[in-house]
Chains A and B, each alone.
Chain A
Amino acid sequence: MRQLPSLLLLLVLSACVFASSDYHEQLVLKPLHPSLLLASFNFQSKTSWASFEQQNFRYFPRSLGQILQHANTRELHLRFSLGRWDAESWGARPWGGTREGGTGVELWAWVEADTDEEAEGRWLTLTNALSGLFCASLNFIDSTRTTRPVMSFQPAEQYSNSSSENLHLLHGTLPREVVCTENLTPFLKLLPCKGKAGISSLLDGHKLFDASWQSMSIDVTPVCVPGTSECQLQITHTIDMVLDIQRSKRPRDNPIPRPVANEDLKCDTSKPYHSHDTCYPLDTSAQEEDWSLSQIFGHSMKGSCPLANDGTDQVCINVPHARNVFASSGAAEHKDESGYSRCYEVPADQDFELALPQQEISEKVPIEQPLLYAERSFIGYGQERGGVQAILTNPSLIDAVDFVYMESLPWFMKLYLHTLKAKISNGNGKSSKDDVIQEMYYQPALDRKRGTQLEVRILIPANSTVILTYDFEKAILRYTEYPPDANRGFDIAPAVITIGNDISIRTTTLLLPLPTPDFSMPYNVIILTSTVMALGFGSVLNLLVRRFVGVDEAEKWDLRAIRFKVAAMVAALVRKFRRRRDHTE
């Protein structure tokens, strides 16, 4: 009976802990031009540091939490991305680009360790454990693919000096890694509602991996209350995808576009040549496409996640208020004052559907201009050398942009630093010789041990373009170092551009063709060498151990002769022995 009050106290305490670990999720839909839809899923939960330490998990996924504890990881960022964000027609990236990675898989983390070796050991533990959890080949992030960025990445929380000394930032990329349903499956299993209810019920691999661009991310960051030592651990899952509305509306069992029947063609009848067999397609750019949640995602949303009850509206859509949007009856609509956004509070127990009819509307949501446009490509020719050119454009007419450009290149792409040049030209087409490179960090590659790391701080004045070029040499790999599909080329990780603390841009990956040998060549060599060896060795061995005799002499050297000799000796012995016995008897 004495234990009852303490038990009650424990219950009250744990209730307090639970109250502080909130969870919310939100889906933001944003139509993009032309006939595309950006869907941003965001799931966020917090847990107190104390309950994390005690493995008292509620919304924080246990499987991930235990890995983080095992590998002494303080902060983790994991990205799975596919496709290219078309900044020129789609504008600025969602979340300022901070929730996306380069094509393939990208991972960076702050690991707590006393020495570099210990940090590398923990990094190895972390990558391997995550490879098991997320069904990705993260274990391929070895020392040649790991860098320690100096200027590009900043921790989410500025730790006190004593603890930041033994925090190691490690960064690795796998640009060749495939992103597919097996990566989405564990991702959904980490969510509190596990894709069964709430906005996560809309996530379907068949749609996600049909997107023009998609990015899945997991961020685990400590969040501290300023002035106190109290810290919380925040986990954010984000999935962003750009879906082609027309493509998504095709039935799943018949996704291949077939010719449209004559009577279904939409023709511009004002054309003079329009007739029953001549059709000029009608210009539909002024018309907004009709679509609904169930058409785009395959099914409607299965209620709201009952755990996400902090009052945030679960679904938002960024369209002008003049656009007609029909939602299911139970949902409450909240219109934003800006005139371009409205949100819906979704009831927990009934399906939610959102439908936008076809509508002719001139008003569009203004596109947010990105701070910087970046593209990168190979220049040069031949099997021996090549070059890289990055074109960085500042579209602003007023503000200069200060950013860090980071490249992590594989060891077999040997950068010549002396060829690194930055050419600046302003909007009038005039080029100037001003030095735009403010600061540089360079770590050369070591063959088969580590890749090249290059970080350049660049300041681009307003309305100018910087063209960054450098040359490199292609190394020749060993026969066994080539992958099975060597002739496809080698993927080079994207360059990471960091502007301040909360904007980042990644270029696309590059495909580097390396000189490849004829892979059947070693077999030819082996066969030829074996033949020569057999001939040479065989004849020498024969000369050494065999005695060559004439055919007529062969009788003497016959094996039978030895046998007869032995037999005769044995017979003689036996006879002798018998005779002696006879004597004794």
Chain B
Amino acid sequence: MKLNNLLQLPFLLTPFLTPAIAEHTSNWAVLVSTSRFWFNYRHLANVLSLYRTVKRLGIPDSQIILMLPDDMACNPRNAFPGTVYSNADRAVDLYGDNIEVDYRGYEVTVENFIRLLTDRVGEEMPRSKRLLTDDRSNILVYMTGHGGNEFLKFQDAEEISAFDLADAFEQMWEKKRYHELLFMIDTCQANTMYSKFYSPNIIATGSSEIDQSSYSHHADNDVGVAVIDRYTYYNLDFLETQVREPSSKKTVGDLFDSYDEAKIHSHPGIRWDLFPGGEEAGRNRLLMDFFGNVQNVEVDNVGNDMEWKEDLLLLGKKIADLKERAEGVDAAQNSTMAPVRDNHASKRIRAAKVATDERWWAKKAVAVLGLAGLSGVWFAGLYLS
């Protein structure tokens, strides 16, 4: 009895520990670089550093969608084969020994990106290339590339507009494909990319205002090109120095407060108005809610310890029943050798009758009246002029 009470303690405490609102049960990350060609090395390095960060904080490869439009690690121009560095000190090899790239090369297109978000894919699409989220999934969407006012270029061949992105997120919301979404973008005039969002539960941040460029941080002379962008560099700097383990209590507000325009050389933007509770609630969200994989498991009908016993009893009965039946069949076969007819009566689902609308005529009448009214107004206008 004592033990029972003890076991129930956590459940009694839960209402006090966690807020009553629904929490997320899974974390996903969609990390997209949209630039091809060797001189855009830094965009792939940006994305790969984010990939290492979310992996470090616990999101598994199966829940990270990584899009790399070009091959930097095994590029013939790379003096460091199989590696991508985001810092001239070359302390961390971002490509490493264990990496899974989901979309690469020519697969990184606007169409594939939108299809990924909205899950409008063919049935042959493997699971590793799909965003299998639900209404309890927190998603981190990070994009980087070359962009402009309300667009972002994909591989120098096509572009995604801020409207496309906003509509894709709205469709995700309608399809219950996310719980909360953190959108980060590092490109020129980045803040225009999230200006058209209209779906709830989104926190958005970008590297630069309209008419502002985003700049690279520094170059590595042996790699030969710039290795990381400023905005991403300072984001990473915060995540690496302040968010060191999955139990970190740093909030989204802390990260945004760390942005220093003097260092980033552009004005990072933040959008709170879509988030329920606005800035106040958004600021208090833990960074781990988006960058880490803290899972809160929900158990239905907690405390009903009779249920599984009943299930077990039912299962036992079923097995006994099946055994009896099998023995009966065996006996029948042995005695008569007659073919045993299949016991299962074939069930067919009949086509359901289409429900007819009782108020069809009434609706027609309303429509006719409406049309008549409109034409009346039209004629009145004509007469008056």
Contacts and interface: CB of A to CB of B under 8 A. Distances in A.
A128 interface: yes
A252 B95 CA distance: 14
B82 A181 contact: yes
B82 A180 contact: yes
A209 B81 contact: yes
A505 interface: no
Nearest to A204: B97
Given A131-B126, A132-B127, A209-B74, A483 B106 contact: yes
Contacts of A281: none
B42 interface: no
Nearest to A124: B124
A484 B156 contact: yes
B82 A205 contact: yes
Nearest to B156: A484
Interface in A135-168: 135-137, 139-140
Contacts of B82: 180-181, 204-210
Nearest to B83: A206
A518 interface: no
Nearest to A519: B157
Given A181-B97, A206-B82, A209-B82, A484 B384 contact: no
Contacts of B327: none
Interface string B55-95: 00000000000000101011000011111000000100101
A253 B90 contact: yes
Given A128-B125, A209-B73, A253-B90, A137 B106 contact: yes
Contact of A140 (B100, B106, B129, B222): B106
B74 A179 contact: yes
A177 interface: yes
A73 B248 CA distance: 48
A255 interface: yes
A182 interface: yes
Contacts of B126: 128-129, 131-133
A182 B106 contact: no
B99 interface: yes
B270 to A, nearest CB: 32
A223 interface: no
Interface in B244-296: none
B127 to A, nearest CB: 7
A430 interface: no
A72 interface: no
Nearest to B125: A128
A317 B14 CA distance: 64
A42 interface: no
Interface centre among A82, A204, A253, by most chain B C-beta atoms within 10 angstroms, is: A253
Given A205-B82, A562-B385, A135 B100 contact: yes
A186 interface: yes
A181 B156 contact: no
Given A132-B129, A137-B107, A205 B124 contact: no
B36 interface: yes
B105 interface: yes
B335 interface: no
Contacts of A252: 80
A181 B155 contact: no
A255 B97 contact: no
B216 interface: no
Contacts of B100: 135, 182, 185-186
Interface string B365-385: 000000000000000000011
Contact of B105 (A132, A137, A566): A137
Given A128-B125, A204-B97, A484 B74 contact: no
B149 interface: no
A178 interface: yes
Contacts of B134: none
Interface in B219-249: 222
A308 to B, nearest CB: 22
Interface centre among A82, A135, A176, A210, by most chain B C-beta atoms within 10 angstroms, is: A135
B82 to A, nearest CB: 4
A256 interface: yes
Interface size class of B (residues with CB under 8 A): 35 or more
B164 interface: no
Nearest to A211: B81
Contacts of A137: 104-107
A135 B102 contact: yes
B74 A177 contact: no
Contacts of B105: 137, 176-178
B90 A562 contact: no
Contact of A484 (B71, B80, B106): B106
A319 to B, nearest CB: 27
B104 A484 contact: no
B37 A485 contact: yes
B157 A185 contact: no
Interface string B110-153: 00000000000010111111000000000000000000000000
Contact of A180 (B71, B90, B98, B102): B71
Interface centre among A82, A176, A484, by most chain B C-beta atoms within 10 angstroms, is: A484
A276 interface: no
A125 interface: yes
Contacts of B155: 484
B101 interface: yes
Interface centre among A133, A180, A209, by most chain B C-beta atoms within 10 angstroms, is: A180
A565 interface: yes
Nearest to B109: A484
B74 A180 contact: yes
A210 B104 contact: no
Interface centre among B73, B82, B90, B155, by most chain A C-beta atoms within 10 angstroms, is: B82
Contacts of A186: 100
Contact of B99 (A128, A178, A185, A206): A185
Contacts of A210: 81-82
Contact of B95 (A125, A129, A205, A485): A205
Nearest to B68: A182
Contacts of A131: 126, 129
Interface centre among B96, B97, B129, B155, by most chain A C-beta atoms within 10 angstroms, is: B97
A255 B110 CA distance: 37
Contacts of A204: 82, 97
B99 A125 contact: no
Contact of B79 (A82, A182, A255): A255
A182 B97 contact: no
24 contacts: A132-B129, A133-B126, A135-B101, A137-B105, A137-B107, A139-B124, A140-B106, A177-B105, A178-B104, A179-B74, A180-B73, A181-B73, A181-B97, A185-B99, A205-B82, A206-B81, A206-B93, A209-B81, A255-B81, A484-B106, A484-B155, A484-B157, A562-B385, A566-B384
Interface of A: 82, 124-125, 128-129, 131-133, 135-137, 139-140, 176-182, 185-186, 204-210, 252-253, 255-256, 483-485, 519, 562, 565-566
Which 6 pairs between the two chains have the least Cβ-Cβ distance?
A132-B126, A484-B155, A180-B74, A484-B157, A210-B81, A178-B71
Given A131-B129, A180-B73, 12 more contacts: A137-B107, A139-B107, A176-B105, A178-B105, A180-B74, A180-B95, A181-B82, A209-B81, A210-B82, A255-B79, A485-B37, A565-B384
